[in-house]
Copies of this chain bind each other. A is one copy, B any other.
Amino acid sequence: MQRILNNPDDIVDEMLEGFLKTHSDMVESTENPRVVKAKNIPEGKVGVITGGGSGHKPAFIGYVGKNMCDAAAVGEICSSPTAAAFLDACKVVSQDKGVACLYGNYSGDNMNVKMAVKMAKKAGITVKTVVANDDVASAPKDQREKRRGVAGEIFMWKAGGAKAALGGSLDEVIAAAQKAIDNTRSVGIGLTPCTLPAVGHPNFEIKEGTMEVGIGHHGEPGIEVCELETASQMAKRMVDIVLPDYPFTEGDEVAVLVSGLGATPVMELYVLYNEIEKLLGEKGIHIYKSYVGNYFTSLDMMGATLTVMKLDDELKELIDLPVYTMGMKQI
């Protein structure tokens, strides 16, 4: 395992220390060492929080900052933050308009958010939630409630965060975030497994010369293992999984996000995006805005995800709003 580590058990603490030092212009620590909050949260706005396991950087703390999330609860590697961390995240951002908790559909997160919401209610804080479930490969279309949240969460945070920044009410923020995720579909292709630092070797296998279509960010099995394909073939495979599921159709305007899984060089993500853009163009689907880079990763996994969100005027306005976080900056 060729990694930059001290004691693997300390990696989350040490990463957080380094992150807070580097980004002291946008984030700060809180009394709970597993909660990071934005600096200078505007007065009177709906609080927007998220949270999740570590190892997916920039997610989740990398999306805390101006016009996006106000705080994030931090879990151990690939494991949910505690209910207490979600609760404390709510507390540090709670003003008088309530809190929107926008998170991904994983059993641990579901359980802990549910508990946090109950505890927050007792403490007089109204928390409403949106659960991301954009990963098409993780369950059939008629069981969307079973699907995992993946890189589509970024669009959910962008839309919800922007709505809150624009002065939206809690219900408006929740509606915007819900619309964003309802309009969004993702799929991933894994080319190598990832290694949990504390384990020291991959706990699943992707054989050289093969790839796993529909893999999850924690190595959850995909829908097919096949021979490694060209970028063009991979793009077609991803587009053919994502587009019919919503469905996206001719004339649609979309936002597209191509994220690396951590160890794939960014150069290759541009090659993949180039193919995706051509395929969408052939179908008459117009890319209004695109994002290519390491936006939602899985430790040192090689591979990429494709996320497509259908836009309307409201979502365009929310996506266009300037944002300043470690993971996404736009003016």
Residues of A within 8 A of B (CB): 2-6, 11, 14-19, 21-22, 54-55, 57-58, 191-192, 206, 208, 211, 228, 230-232, 234, 262-275, 277, 287, 290-292, 294, 297, 299-300, 302-304, 324, 329-331
Report how far A273 CA is from B19 CA in the complex, Å: 8
Instruction: Return A43 CB to nearest CB of chain B, in Å.
Output: 21
Contact of A14 among B17, B264, B271 (CB under 8 A): B271
- Flag if A18 contacts B265 (CB, 8 Å): no
Counted per complex, copies of this chain come to: 2
Which residue on chain B has the smallest CB distance to residue A271? B14
Interface centre among A18, A265, A290 (most CB of B within 10 A): A265
Residues in B with CB closer than 8 Å to A273 are 18, 21-22
Residues in B with CB closer than 8 Å to A6 are 230-232, 271, 275
Instruction: Return A326 CB to nearest CB of chain B, in Å.
Output: 8
Knowing that A4-B234, A14-B271, A15-B271 are A-B contacts, what are 12 other residue pairs whose CB atoms are under 8 Å apart, sorted by A's residue number? A2-B192, A5-B231, A6-B275, A16-B270, A17-B274, A18-B270, A18-B273, A18-B277, A21-B290, A22-B291, A263-B265, A263-B302
Interface centre among A2, A6, A55, A191 (most CB of B within 10 A): A2
Report how far A297 CA is from B287 CA in the complex, Å: 28
Instruction: Return A92 CB to nearest CB of chain B, in Å.
Output: 21
- Flag if B4 contacts A272 (CB, 8 Å): yes
**A4 in contact with B329 given A21-B277, A55-B265, A290-B22 (CB within 8 Å):** no
Instruction: Return A212 CB to nearest CB of chain B, in Å.
Output: 11
27 A-B pairs within 8 Å (CB atoms) are namely: A2-B191, A2-B192, A2-B208, A2-B302, A4-B231, A4-B268, A5-B230, A6-B230, A6-B232, A11-B267, A11-B271, A14-B231, A14-B275, A15-B267, A15-B271, A18-B269, A18-B270, A18-B272, A18-B274, A22-B290, A22-B291, A57-B266, A57-B267, A263-B300, A265-B299, A267-B299, A294-B294
Report how far A283 CA is from B22 CA in the complex, Å: 19
Residues in B with CB closer than 8 Å to A266 are 57-58, 294, 297
Report how far A12 CA is from B268 CA in the complex, Å: 10
Which residue on chain B has the smallest CB distance to residue A16? B270
Instruction: Return A325 CB to nearest CB of chain B, in Å.
Output: 10
**A4 in contact with B269 given A264-B300, A324-B331 (CB within 8 Å):** yes
Residues in B with CB closer than 8 Å to A208 are 2
Residues in B with CB closer than 8 Å to A290 are 21-22
- Flag if A3 contacts B300 (CB, 8 Å): no
Instruction: Return A74 CB to nearest CB of chain B, in Å.
Output: 11
Residues in B with CB closer than 8 Å to A303 are 4
Shortest beta-carbon contacts, A-B, top 3: A18-B270, A18-B274, A2-B191
Report how far A240 CA is from B38 CA in the complex, Å: 34
